[in-house]
Amino acid sequence: MTFLEFAILAAQETDPRGNQSIGWLAGLYTLGLFVAVGLLLWSFTRVMRRMREQPWQDQEPDSTDPRGDDPTS
């Protein structure tokens, strides 16, 4: 199939107002991508919160807590 034939087929799927449907498969891929990115961001924030609360090995805990909570009291 040449590029010209593909362009003609793609143009025929457009309605008179110029709108083109996204299609079910592309919509599912897009939805899946949003879910995957959301899960990655959720996991990243969980790990960052855990890292903020627990220091690395051989590292002193941060004495300046931005939340103002004193962990020793």
pTM: predicted TM-score of the whole model, two decimal places? 0.49
- Residue pLDDT tens, the chain, 73 long: 677 776 776 666 666 666 666 778 888 999 999 999 999 999 999 999 988 877 666 666 655 555 655 555 5
Within a domain: 70: no
Within a domain: 50: yes
Within a domain: 27: yes
Within a domain: 68: no
State the total domains in the chain: 1
Within a domain: 12: no
CA angle, 47 then 53 then 58, to 5°: 105
Within a domain: 28: yes
Within a domain: 64: no
Measured over the CA atoms of residue 31, residue 37, residue 39 and residue 45, the dihedral's sign is negative
What tokens does 47 get? 């790990």
What is the extent of the structural domain holding 36?
21-55
